[in-house]
Amino acid sequence: MRTQISRRHLLKSAAAAGVGLAAMKSRTIAAGDVAFKAGLIGCGGRGNGAAGDILKAAQKTGIKVELTAVHDVYEGQAKNSARHFNVGAAGTFWDFDGYKKLIDSGVDIVILATPPGFRPEHFEAVVAAGKHCFCEKPVATYAQDCRRFLKAAEESVRKNLTVVAGTQRRHQSNYVETVAKLHGAIGDIRALRAYWCGGPVMKGRPRTPGQKDMDFQLKAWYLSLIHI
């Protein structure tokens, strides 16, 4: 039995599961088939979390998605993620240029979850290869890189690719419902102040004796906002 899955249906279902990655072009999918192969670039906490999210969304929507490739600058990080997600050695890549091998490995969807200094270059490569993309925020850290990303985004539209950015607050139901209640409930909002309470970012990553600049910036990217 074959089921026609529309792009609208995929987007609605995946959003309900917390991930928009299944919002792909319409295609016919046979029961039990692997609908999409996904690859993860950036095997840190956020990357592993995003990869886990797409697999959970796949279970909830009944659409079979398989994580077939992972990449990280650090070999150990890449291999740890590969073990966790049962990705074979042929789909495990590292070093600075390993992302190119991942993109060319036959994946349909690429998850970009590296530090944002890499984002424009990686996104350009994803779009050039005609792959769909889930891109973590922020998309860039400098004005010129924002322009690079926007130019690649325009190309993704021309190629009819699906690109989803990690702006979860715009989709999280309790946030959306709260904003809807505010509109009309208290009159016109003249000013607004918002807070986010949390612990120190990148805590516990002081520079170690003899550590190279590149390694320090990669591991403390939130503080340095690396631009490579």
**pLDDT given for residue 63 in this prediction:** 87
Walk me through the domains of the chain, giving residue ranges and CATH numbers.
Answer: 2-169 (3.40.50.720), 193-228 (no CATH)
Nearby residues of 118 by Cβ (< 8 Å), 6 or more positions away: 42, 228
109 neighbors 67 (Cβ within 8 angstroms): no
Beta bridge partners, 135, equal 112, 165
**pLDDT given for residue 5 in this prediction:** 38
Banded pLDDT at 189 (limits 50, 70, 90): confident
Give the range among 30-34, 81-85, 99-103 with minimum mean pLDDT: 30-34
Omega before residue 138 within 30° of 0, cis? yes
Residue bearing the bigger pLDDT, 17 or 210:
210
Crossing angle for the helix pair 75-84 and 45-61, nearest 10 degrees?
Answer: 20
105 neighbors 91 (Cβ within 8 angstroms): yes
The residue behind tokens 């070999």 is 75
> Chain-wide mean pLDDT for the chain?
83
Query: Of 8, 69, 79, 13, whose CA–CA distance to 36 is shortest?
Result: 69
pTM here?
A: 0.79
Give the range among 28-42, 87-101, 152-166 with minimum mean pLDDT: 28-42
Percent of the chain surpassing pLDDT 90 = 53
pLDDT over 80 at 101, yes or no: yes
How far from each other are the two terminal CA atoms of the chain, in whole angstroms?
A: 49
What's the average model confidence in pLDDT over 4-8?
41
Beta bridge partners, 29, equal 3
Q: What are the CA-CA distances from residue 215 to residues 17, 39, 124 (Å)?
A: 36, 24, 24
Query: Of 53, 13, 61, whose CA–CA distance to 35 is shortest?
Result: 61
Structure tokens at 161: 């690719």
Mind listing the pLDDT tens digit for each residue in 105-120?
A: 999 999 999 999 999 9
d(CA 89, CA 46): 22
d(CA 13, CA 74): 34
pLDDT over 80 at 85, yes or no: yes
Q: Is 169 strand, coil or helix?
A: helix
**pLDDT given for residue 34 in this prediction:** 62
